[in-house]
Amino acid sequence: MSRRERPGGVRADFDDPASLAGAVAGVDTVFLVTAPPVPTADHDIALMTAARAAGVRKIVKLSAIGSGERFEGATVGAWHLAAEEAIEASGLVWTMLRPPSFASNFLRYRALIQAGEPIPNMTGDSRQAIVDPRDVAAVAVAAMTSDAHNGQRYDLTGPELLTFTDQATILERVLERPVKITDASALDQLPAGMTTGIGWARAGGAAYVTDHVPRVLGRPAGTFEQWARDHREAFAAMP
């Protein structure tokens, strides 16, 4: 979070402004990751407000692909968009990182895969350029440690478009065990607050590849297959 040494880190709570002030004191650059249980920009804005008051110079925000797109009368990633807009208006230096689905989302299904149970496919036959989260982290480090990425909004895609079934097939090959899937696209099965984003992705909104990861890192973006190979042990371990 900072250029200052902080052995042991600093505990803070997005819902407790005083604790945020302590976390950003003396900090130059913040990497902002929020995952509110209810989709609002409140946590981002609380941190941004504390950062500005503390004299922080730059915020690198983990956002999401498609934030601000319109789908069926609603805004995709509305809370990320509101947070991005607040940060842009704050006068702080910023970089927005907007990845599609992380390869690591499959780790949530370790228990199901180990039990031979089907895993939920929420995105139907649509394709997405699944990104290796290690690439997102590497771009975040680049953005935090160089001013070459100030004011940039990067769509951090992986190198190839894959359906959920494609990913399951790759995982099956790498793990050498069956990976079954089941249709979980019914609206009442989707995570709260994510129906617009998932609907947008299912309709093909996220079906594109960018060169932003290779442009920033000077090497190709990692493939889903390589991520799966590097995480074989995680799938073998008990969750």
Ligand X SMILES: NC(=O)c1ccc[n+]([C@@H]2O[C@H](COP(=O)([O-])OP(=O)(O)OC[C@H]3O[C@@H](n4cnc5c(N)ncnc54)[C@H](OP(=O)(O)O)[C@@H]3O)[C@@H](O)[C@H]2O)c1
Determine, following the binding rule CB under 6 A, whether residue 205 of this chain makes contact with ligand X.
no
- How far apart (Å, rounded) are the C-alpha atoms in residues 170 and 164? 10
The interface with ligand X within residues 175-194 (CB under 6 A) comprises none
Residues 6+ apart with CB under 8 A from 114: 235, 238, 239
Residues 6+ apart with CB under 8 A from 200: 66, 69, 71, 76, 206
Interface size with ligand X, residues (CB under 6 A): 10
Sole binder of ligand X in the list 3, 16, 22, 33 (CB under 6 A): 33
- Shortest CB 227 distance to ligand X, Å: 12
- Shortest CB 33 distance to ligand X, Å: 5
Sole binder of ligand X in the list 4, 8, 35, 176 (CB under 6 A): 35
Q: Name the residue nearer to ligand X (CB basis): 58 or 98.
A: 98
- Tokens for 1, please give them: 């979070």
- Tokens for 88, please give them: 């842009």
3-state helix, strand, coil in the chain (%, to 5): 45, 15, 45
Sole binder of ligand X in the list 3, 53, 70, 105 (CB under 6 A): 105
- Tokens for 17, please give them: 């402004």
Q: Which stretch binds ligand X (CB under 6 A): 30-38, 46-54, 167-175, 214-222?
A: 30-38
- How far apart (Å, rounded) are the C-alpha atoms in residues 207 and 204? 5
- How far apart (Å, rounded) are the C-alpha atoms in residues 138 and 153? 15
Give residue for tokens 């600093």.
10
Residue whose C-alpha is closest to residue 29's, from 13, 8, 51, 5: 51
Q: Which stretch binds ligand X (CB under 6 A): 2-10, 94-102, 118-126, 205-213?
A: 94-102
- Shortest CB 81 distance to ligand X, Å: 11
Give residue for tokens 């699944």.
130
Q: Which stretch binds ligand X (CB under 6 A): 31-39, 116-124, 147-155, 173-181?
A: 31-39
Sole binder of ligand X in the list 23, 48, 60, 62 (CB under 6 A): 62
Determine, following the binding rule CB under 6 A, whether residue 39 of this chain makes contact with ligand X.
no
- Shortest CB 7 distance to ligand X, Å: 20
